[in-house]
Amino acid sequence: MKRILTLALSAALVLGAAALWAQPGFHHKMGGLGGMTAGQMADHMEFMARALDLTDEQKAAAKKIHEEIFAKAEPLIEQHRQQMDEVHALLDGANPDATLVGQKVIAAHATGEQLKALHEEAMSKFSALLNADQLAKLKKFQEMHHDREGFGPPGPGF
């Protein structure tokens, strides 16, 4: 049960996916935002709404937060993808220039930090929507995810 909840939570949470996407090499393993289709994302978002017992008003507010943050994150996700593609292309070359690779990695890291900040902004806004019981459930999901996964920020997004 713990595994199912953890996987569903991490898959459901778009900003978590965006933050994970910011991690070096992640998009090469998963493809897209966690490899999920729009329908799968909607299903997982609904799962989280049920798991946290969100009201209709909370669901609407969460959707608005998601849309606003994702609009900001989407170009950064693409930028990070391009940056990491450049890093991998350099590394796959015959004689990679360590200085150039390092500069590209530093730039990609900075983009990842921007994504992390957006994730934290979204989590702060989303957490403010929740009552004490819902917040406790969310924190438990985050702890389970953090205990299981060795990458990404301390908690998944919403």
Q: Tokens for 26?
A: 């992640």
What are φ and ψ of residue 31, in 5° steps?
75, 135
Q: What is the pLDDT along the chain (158 residues), one digit of tens a residue?
A: 555 444 444 434 433 444 444 444 443 333 344 445 667 767 777 888 898 999 999 999 998 998 898 899 999 999 999 999 999 999 999 999 999 999 999 999 999 999 999 999 998 999 999 999 999 998 988 888 766 544 444 444 44
Structure confidence at residue 31 (pLDDT): 38
- CA 111 distance to own-chain centroid: 13
Query: Number of H helices and number of E strands within the chain?
Result: 7, 0
Contact 54, 150 (CB under 8 A): no
pTM more than 0.75: no
Q: Tokens for 140?
A: 């438990």
